[in-house]
Amino acid sequence: MLCNLVQMARVGAVGRACCRVVNRPARRLASLVVITAGCAAVDPDGLQTTGGSTASLTSESSSSGGATGSSSGVVDDTSTGATSTATGSSGPDPLEDTTAADGAPIFDVGIVPDSPADQPAPPTDIDVVITADNAYAFGYGDESMMATYFGGVAAVTAGEIFNCGPGPEQYAVPAQDTAEYLYIVAYGDTATTQGVIGQFRRVSDRPEGAAGEVVYTGDVGWEVCATGVDYNAGDAAPLLEVINEQIELCNQGQTDPETTSVGWVDEIGTAVGALAVGETNETPYVGGAMPGNEFPLVCQAMIDAAAKWMWFNWDPENIVWPAQSPFLYPGGAGNPMHDFMIFRLATEVLPAPPAG
């Protein structure tokens, strides 16, 4: 598009002009050479042409005393045997051109700024809604630690998990805070079902602006680390210091494979565990938890139907959902599920609110 615009602005009515752009790794483009002798294929490495003209372009820049640039172009018209050389240097007008001996204009387009798509989106507030069966805690920070911790929520009744009002909780992550990762710490009881479900989106900084696209639990980008540190729903929530100790161990990935996930795992997982992604929040509950239909619907005024339940699968070879279920407590002594769990999501995957 750049070549076409410059060609129309500078070449005008010159017929059958061919504009060549040589890709270079430097940010400053080499001079654009408009050649009227024909349109031949250009080899970006050797700059060889066939059946027309050859062109050799070079580009240099200096960082001292501000950005400067120079370019030279050599046009060899093999059809006539004539060779012409033209040089041009950047000046106050980055589009100021010179003319080669054969009449082809040569000009420098100057510095090309990054496109808006290359610029990172400015941070915005993040809206969070979560519930869990049975207990969880939310916080955020960077890859190495949770910096802000909201403390624990432990549901005692089913209504405190699923119903509008006492059920899902809502949180706000301010734009000015360091929130490279969102963390959910979760642990269950020793009966029936265990899981976490929620949704996350960026909020516009304009009063009437639309929010960004929602990211749900179970979407691509989630990871889980099973710490093997046993907490039950009736226990006080883990302290922030305990959580950050476990985040460090998860990052190192050197814990006991018999009792932990040995670091962060996604839905693909490893031989010792994987992120378990289950039913959506639109699956009709037939009554009585069973594989593939473990949970009643959560208040859809708070959590959308597209959200999926998550947990940790401690035996992915033998527990294949929905035929078998990692969301159902397996029974037995000790801590067979390897909780508490830490789920995390990098906030860079949250789409920015629409512009305008």
Q: What tens digit of pLDDT does each residue of 241-281 get?
A: 999 999 999 999 999 999 999 999 999 999 999 999 999 99
For residue range 152-180, list pLDDT tens digits in order: 999 999 999 999 999 999 999 999 999 99
Query: How confident is the model at residue 234, as a pLDDT?
Result: 85
Q: Is residue 99 part of a domain?
A: yes
Confidence at residue 51, expressed as pLDDT on a 0 to 100 scale? 41
Judgement on whether residues 161 and 26 belong to the same structural domain of the protein: no
User: Omega before 281 cis (within 30°)?
Assistant: no
Q: Considering the domain boundaries, does residue 323 fall inside one?
A: yes
Q: Would 247 be classed as within a structural domain?
A: yes
State the residue range of the domain holding 323: 126-349
Which of the listed residues 115, 140, 159 is the one where a domain comes to its end? 115
In sequence order, the 6+-apart residues with CB closer than 8 A to the CB of 260 are: 225, 226, 227, 228, 272, 338
Query: Does residue 85 lie within any of the structural domains?
Result: yes
354 assigned to some structural domain: no
Same domain, 336 and 215: yes
What's the pTM value of the predicted model, to 2 decimals? 0.68
- What's the pLDDT band for 120 if we cut at 50, 70, 90? low
Of 18-22, 40-44, 98-102, 123-127, the least confident = 18-22
Instruction: Kindly report, residue by residue over 17-55, the tens digit of the pLDDT.
Output: 333 333 433 333 333 333 333 444 444 444 343 444 333
Same domain (yes/no): 83, 168: no
136 within domain boundaries = yes
Task: Please give the residue that has the higher pLDDT: either 80 or 248.
Answer: 248
Looking at the structure, do residues 26 and 151 belong to the same domain, yes or no?
no
Residues 86 and 137 in one domain: no
Identify whether the C-beta of residue 75 lies closer than 8 Å to the C-beta of residue 84.
Answer: yes
Residues 198/131, Cβ–Cβ less than 8 Å: yes
Answer whether residue 43 is part of any domain: yes
Please tell me the total count of domains within the chain. 2
**Residues 333, 214 within the same domain:** yes
pLDDT of residue 255: 97
- The pLDDT of residue 208 is 83
